[in-house]
Homo-oligomer: A and B are copies of this chain.
Amino acid sequence: MRRRPKHLPAEERRAATVEAVIDLAGEKNPSDITTSDIAKRMGLTQGALFRHFPTKDSILQAVLSWVTERLLSRVDRAAEGMQSPIAALEAMFMTHIDFVSEQPGVPRMLFGELQRAGETLPKRIVQTMTHHYAERLHRLLRAGVAQGELDATLDVDTAAVLFIGSIQGLVMQSLLAGDVSHIRRDAPGVFSIYRRGIEARHEL
- Report A's interface with B, CB cutoff 8 A: 27-32, 108, 111-112, 114-117, 127, 130, 151, 154-155, 157-159, 161-170, 172-173, 175-176, 186, 189-190, 193-198, 201, 203-204
Contact = CB atoms under 8 A, between A and B. Distances in A.
Contact of A155 (B130, B158, B189): B189
Contacts of A175: 111, 114-115
Given A165-B168, A169-B161, A169-B169, A115 B29 contact: yes
> In terms of DSSP, what is the predominant structure of the interface of chain A?
helix
A48 B169 CA distance: 39
A201 to B, nearest CB: 6
A162 B169 contact: yes
Given A169-B162, A169-B165, A29 B193 contact: no
Contact of A169 (B28, B166, B193): B166
A186 B172 contact: no
Given A168-B169, A169-B168, A189-B155, A29 B117 contact: yes
Nearest to A175: B114
